[in-house]
């Protein structure tokens, strides 16, 4: 096993035990990037001299924290004081923030090394970026956290930051066969992160294991994770959601396979039907996202800059400006009602299982995939973690996600560690 194939926790332990140096780990990551970047194109900015200087400094220090010497990829809508932050837009070409985002500062505080900035779609929205799926470059890696998902899946870096407004952590992680974790809304500090829709946007992580997602919880909360006790037979709700009709056969097969494996592993399973009106939440999510995005990008929408948006982005912003405050407030009321009703359902379950995406990663780079199965957790502010389960007809990963109760992030992560073993 080469150093870049280690998990983040394995690498940190090896560095702390002087069995591996941070320089060796960074050099292995850079070698992998050199080999794969021309095809995968996961990185927006790399500064080899800078990261090797950081690695040499870490090797001279007593370990600062649980991420000491470990590289992290940062989605390029998250500020870094020593690297450009360009938001996937020509409006911000060469932009250099004055300070680090909170999550970047917390990574450095824990001894981590910012390896570089990963490719994002334009303002973390829908137009596809250039990154390709490392498992089959003819397919999308998903979006908008495309670069982070591809880099983690390809062993270029063990951890990548993603952000989710609709499905931009869970979906690309699923398409690339990784673990995507979106915490409860507001759990991770978002200072220094470019906000698209402030009532929805959530910082998340993409890793190759649940254990590394838990490690990042410790880093971002700046404290140890104390997992709550779990029942011997956790109860999982099989939730087909009101959008099951959009699940492809591969997603349906993965859902059934996961159910069989969990039943065999001793989990209690029950079918859950969400209230029928939840079908309208897709539209309420759209209203909130487009209304807030237009107003959050008022600077970028000024006449002298608006033409620098892609046509897709221009159309989305125009739709957002046409939405009225009354429409927006009605959507926020539906959001609050949905949160309450889902919270009542969650009192009976350790988690709800849903598809992570309609199927495997679509072919081509014309689409990043549909977030139809991700909007509920984003809108209703509940934590979600996506795990790979099986492969689709093109041989690409297909996964399921587990949604927990609002605020029960550690319970969900602890459960996910057991689920991961059962689904392997």
Q: Show which residues are catalytic.
A: 75, 144, 168
Please give the structure tokens belonging to residue 58.
Answer: 């870490």
Question: CA dist 283 to 22, 44, 325, Å?
Answer: 47, 33, 15
- Number of helices and strands in the chain (H, E): 14, 11
Torsions phi, psi of 87, nearest 5? 60, 20
Distance CA 45, CA 29 (A): 14
Q: In terms of DSSP H, where are the helices of 96-242?
A: 102-109, 146-153, 170-176, 210-221
Contact 159, 255 (CB under 8 A): no
Edge-first strand order for the sheet with 268-272 is 43-46, 113-118, 71-75, 159-164, 202-207, 179-182, 384-391, 397-403, 351-355, 235-239, 268-272
Longest CA–CA span in the chain (Å) reads 61
Contact 42, 119 (CB under 8 A): yes
Please give the structure tokens belonging to residue 284.
Answer: 């309420």
Question: CA dist 332 to 26, 46, 283, 285, 380, Å?
Answer: 45, 40, 11, 9, 10
Distance CA 347, CA 341 (A): 10
Interstrand relation of 235-239 and 268-272 (parallel, antiparallel or unpaired): parallel
Q: How far is CA 139 from the centre of its chain?
A: 19
């Amino acid at each position: 096993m080469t150093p870049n194939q280690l998990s983040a926790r394995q690498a940190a332990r090896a560095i702390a035990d002087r069995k591996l140096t941070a320089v060796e780990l960074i050099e292995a990551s850079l070698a992998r990037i050199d080999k794969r970047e021309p095809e995968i194109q996961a990185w927006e900015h790399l500064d080899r001299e800078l990261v090797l200087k950081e690695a040499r400094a870490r090797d001279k220090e007593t370990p600062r924290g649980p991420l000491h010497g470990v590289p992290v990829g940062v989605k390029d809508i998250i500020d870094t004081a020593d690297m450009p932050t360009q938001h996937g837009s020509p409006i911000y070409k060469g932009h250099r923030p004055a300070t680090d985002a909170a999550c970047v500062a917390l990574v450095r505080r824990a001894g981590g090394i910012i390896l570089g900035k990963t490719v994002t779609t334009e303002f973390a929205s829908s137009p596809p970026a250039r990154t390709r799926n490392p498992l089959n470059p003819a397919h999308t890696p998903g979006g908008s956290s495309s670069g982070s998902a591809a880099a983690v899946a390809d062993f270029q870096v063990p951890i990548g930051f993603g952000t989710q407004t609709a499905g931009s952590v869970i979906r690309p992680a699923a398409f690339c066969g990784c673990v995507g974790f979106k915490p409860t809304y507001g759990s991770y500090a978002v200072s220094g992160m470019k906000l698209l829709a402030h009532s929805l946007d959530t910082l998340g992580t993409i890793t190759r294991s649940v254990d590394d997602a838990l490690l990042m919880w410790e880093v971002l909360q700046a404290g140890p994770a104390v997992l709550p006790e779990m029942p011997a037979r956790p109860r999982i709700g099989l939730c087909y959601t009101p959008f099951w009709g959009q699940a492809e056969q591969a997603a349906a097969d993965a859902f059934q396979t996961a159910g069989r494996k969990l039943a065999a592993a001793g989990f209690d399973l029950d079918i859950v039907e969400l209230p029928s009106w939840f079908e309208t939440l897709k539209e309420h999510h759209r209203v909130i996202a487009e209304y807030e995005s237009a107003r959050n990008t008022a600077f970028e929408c000024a006449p002298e800059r608006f033409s620098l948006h892609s046509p897709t982005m221009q159309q989305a912003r125009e739709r957002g400006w046409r939405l009225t405050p009354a429409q927006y407030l009605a959507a926020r009321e539906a959001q609050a009602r949905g949160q309450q009703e889902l919270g009542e359902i969650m009192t009976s379950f350790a988690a709800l299982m849903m598809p992570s995406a309609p199927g495997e990663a679509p072919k081509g780079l014309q689409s990043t995939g549909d977030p139809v199965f991700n909007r509920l957790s984003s809108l209703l502010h509940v934590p979600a973690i996506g795990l790979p389960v099986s492969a689709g007809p093109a041989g690409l990963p297909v996964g399921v996600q587990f949604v927990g109760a609002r605020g029960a992030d550690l319970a969900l992560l602890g459960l996910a560690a057991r689920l991961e073993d059962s689904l392997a």
